[in-house]
Structure 1
């Protein structure tokens, strides 16, 4: 014989499930995705910093002779967090870059991940803690290339990034 729940038990279970969903929405989802934090729990758990990550594209120019792009970005690295900002590049394509903060140093790893790799492999091109850097690199393989910045301070840090080269913008990876 199959056990069935009575109508009052089903209603009670439904109300409990809805209450749990509402608590999760207000406490976790709204702060992390939309920076709406009516309870203050999202800020205490560091979830509002996820929603505060912003990227502003200031310009994009394309040189049709070489297919080179030039872009400028304002990227906010939340306090105590790390973010990745990426580009898709083909093997042997070049990128010139220049980035700076307003004085606060960030830990960073400029690296690439081969296209199609499922092992988690990545190749680092530069790792340091600096407030600015300028350089260029040639993509050693087809794949995703870019920066991981880690903000170890208790204040958000703005990064101004300028790039020029042959790439397709991916942008912020969460």
Structure 2
């Protein structure tokens, strides 16, 4: 004898599944993917830092493919409660020296690289912290796109002054 469920049980199960799906969407997916956090739970769990939201700002002028080998400076505005990525294309073993600073506001950041041609979403982080400034250098471990994701958790836009020197091609804000 085969056990069958009543229509009332099926409707009840469907409603429960729908409620769980909506809670998952609002609590986890929206904060992590779109930086939309209506419950505040996403920020507490660090999920909003994963959102790859980009904003059109004055740095769009730097989106080009000019090979640079000298010192360059950029002024990057990270809007309030938003994040953005600023990237450079680099070949394996190319070097970059960098220095960035804000007017004093600390930003969450992830200095990382994504291998050329990778379609899996893989990236390698070189430094992750929350700071108002950073100075250093790195050598690209592989051909690909390398740079920063900055997250502004304040209620005011933060301006970053970035200085770089090395072997790279400027991509700018990654869309």
Calculate the TM-score normalised by the size of structure 2.
0.64
d(CA) in 1 for partners of 2:101 and 2:84?
Answer: 15
d(CA) in 2 for partners of 1:162 and 1:108?
Answer: 16
Q: Is the contact made by 2:84 and 2:151 (CA closer than 8 Å) also made in structure 1?
A: yes
Structure 1 pair 94–165 and aligned structure 2 pair: CA distance change class (3 A): same
d(CA) in 2 for partners of 1:105 and 1:167?
Answer: 27
Answer 1 or 2: which has greater strand percent.
1
1:128 aligned to 2:129? yes
Alignment size in residue pairs? 120
Structure 1 pair 56–121 and aligned structure 2 pair: CA distance change class (3 A): closer
The 4+ residue runs of structure 1 with deviation greater than 3 A are 49-52
The corresponding residue for 1:153 is 154
Q: Is the contact made by 1:79 and 1:154 (CA closer than 8 Å) also made in structure 2?
A: yes
Residue 143 of structure 1 deviates from its aligned partner by 0.1
Decide which structure has the larger Cα Rg and report it. 1
For residues 90-101 of structure 1, the aligned pairs below 5 Å read: 90-101=91-102
Structure 1 pair 123–51 and aligned structure 2 pair: CA distance change class (3 A): closer
- Long gaps (5+) in structure 2: 1-52
d(CA) in 1 for partners of 2:98 and 2:118?
Answer: 25
1:103 aligned to 2:104? yes
Q: CA deviation digits over 1:86-126, x for unaligned, max 9?
A: 00000000000000000000000000000000000000000
d(CA) in 1 for partners of 2:83 and 2:151?
Answer: 4
Larger RCO, structure (CA 8 Å, separation 6 or more): 2
Residue 152 of structure 1 deviates from its aligned partner by 0.3
**Root-mean-square deviation over aligned CA pairs:** 2.4
The corresponding residue for 1:54 is 58
- Long gaps (5+) in structure 1: 1-48
Calculate the TM-score normalised by the size of structure 1.
0.64
Residue 57 of structure 1 deviates from its aligned partner by 7.1
